[in-house]
Structures are given as structure tokens and as C-alpha cells.
A = this chain, B = another copy of it.
């Protein structure tokens, strides 16, 4: 029997500072034959996320450290093409934490929410790539942050940073769907225009066009911010702390402004307004959607309904071909792309 081969991106060296686009190398590797209990998953869509930068760091963070020579880790929408595990069948769709590769051979027992996998049935009226954005990790992240952590209420004042980014754009739309007063923070007039027109936000702040972020926030929220959904961290977090309303919540979904600096502590931004946590009685909570995958069965139908009702839209920037994945990754940190960055693998 001839062994099949596949393309994989393996880690050549860790990243330090900005991504150079030299961290990974495309190699051809054999696809092992399935043994009992294993499942073959074909990668259809690979998701590119800010967390990729963390996984390329020299020190481990919230997931086990990847070694040089390992296949790069990635979130994948895949389909089971062969199964020797009783719970999985050919054709099953999975949202799963695997790698930058065409196929994955995995023990079916490991395909659990606790280990980063959920099985789902795509809605017949919804394209599959929606499950990589609005109905995928970014949508779930926005949903859990706003509904579960912040318990966003109607008429609450919601500020979203990275508002034109993948998760931010969903947080803005979900905020509107939950009847909040939503203002987005984004870089550039074009993005802000898009947020206000196409996505119908109540306001926007172009952080590139202001040298006083705190004042710009105060103008948008004279009564303070009840919920700050923060993807960015750094100076935006600092300015928001000054503008929070008493008893407000800061949902810390990410700190993308700091990820490329994590290796060099002297470069990290220092948040000066933490004493306001006390005087304003604020809650600030970080979370990872990977801890909430067992709730997705309840979240997904609600998101599907909102998508079908056009309360939320999704907007993917799709890169075609696994071989273009590394080149596309730095776009996440350039502030250039709008919406979710995905790679169509097959």
C-alpha cells in the first residue's frame, strides 16, 4: 500500500518581536494509517487567530509549548473522512484544535470539548465558512464575553476595541442584537465608516485620528462605559479604565497590542489606571473560549438564528491554499484586515 503524503507547516524557530514570516516551513509528511480508535480529519478551513502568535512564543502559555519541528497549532474546520472510532462517522463536521496541515490523524477519545473539539451539523442555509467566524470561535468568544461574563443588558453602554477585527466585529453586532448602545474603537476612517454604516453602530472612535483616547471615549460616553469588551489591551485599556461607569465590567478577550512584545518585558505597556478598579468597583475578567466549548451546543443555535435573521453578518478575508498561510498571518497584527482571516485548505 502506498503511503499518502500531505503538506504541513512545521515550526522552524520561535518568534520574537514582530512575526517575520520565517518561523514556519512547509514540509511534506506521510499521513499515518489509522489504528483502532483513530479518526482521519481533513482540514477544510484553517483559522488564523492572534493566539497563533502566542503559540509561536518561546515560553509556554495557556497550552502546552510547541517544540521546534512540531506542526504549527491551529483551529480547524474539518470533516471526518475515515473513522475507526465508534463515535465518529465519515462526513462528521468538527471544529477542532489541530494543526496547519491537510489531514490530522487523532485518537477519537481526544475529540472532546475539554480538548478543543466540538462536533456540529452545519445549517443547510448557512455556508460552512460562517462556522469559522460568526458561528465559530470569534462568535462564541463575543457571545460568552458579553452574555455570560458581562451580562450585558439592554441600553448598557458598550465599548468594543478592535471593533473591525474578527472578534470585535462580532462583539459589536451581538451588542446591537442585545440592544446595547455600542461604540467601536478601530484604526482608520474607513473602518469607522464601515462600523457606523454597514454595521449600524451608535458611534465609533478612530484611535489613529485622536491623540487623546480618554477624551474621545468621554465624548462618546458622557455617562461612562458599562461594559468594555477589550481585544487590544495597552493604552486602550488604560483610557477605558478612566471612562468606566461605577460597577462596570471589562471583559478581557485579548491583548493583541501586546502579543508581539511578550518576549521582551521592557516593551510591554504599563496600565496606570488599575487603582480605578477600586474607586469605581470594576470587575475585569479574562477568559479563553476553549474553557467554554461545552456550552457551544446552547450558543450555536442562537447565533445561527441571529445570522439567518441578519442581525449579525460575517465577513471573512479568505486566503486560498494552505501554502499561503504563513504569509497571511502577520496581517492579523498589521491592523489591515477587516473581519476574520481564514485559509481555505480544501
Contact = CB atoms under 8 A, between A and B. Distances in A.
Interface in A244-296: 246, 252-255, 258-259, 262, 265, 268-288, 291
- Give the interface size bracket for A toward B: 35 or more
B291 A286 contact: no
A288 B281 contact: yes
Given A62-B280, A233-B274, 7 more contacts: A253-B278, A258-B274, A258-B275, A265-B272, A281-B286, A281-B291, A284-B285
Nearest to A267: B272
A310 interface: no
Given A62-B279, A279-B61, A274 B252 contact: yes
Main secondary structure of the interface of A (DSSP, over half): loop
A54 interface: yes
Contact of A285 (B273, B276, B277): B277
B278 A254 contact: yes
30 contacts: A61-B279, A62-B246, A62-B281, A233-B274, A252-B277, A253-B278, A254-B278, A255-B274, A255-B275, A255-B277, A258-B274, A262-B275, A268-B272, A268-B275, A269-B272, A270-B270, A271-B271, A271-B274, A277-B284, A277-B286, A278-B286, A278-B288, A279-B288, A281-B286, A282-B285, A282-B286, A283-B283, A283-B284, A283-B285, A284-B285
A237 interface: yes
A284 B281 contact: no
A322 to B, nearest CB: 27
A269 to B, nearest CB: 7
A269 B272 CA distance: 6
A326 B86 CA distance: 77
A274 B237 contact: yes
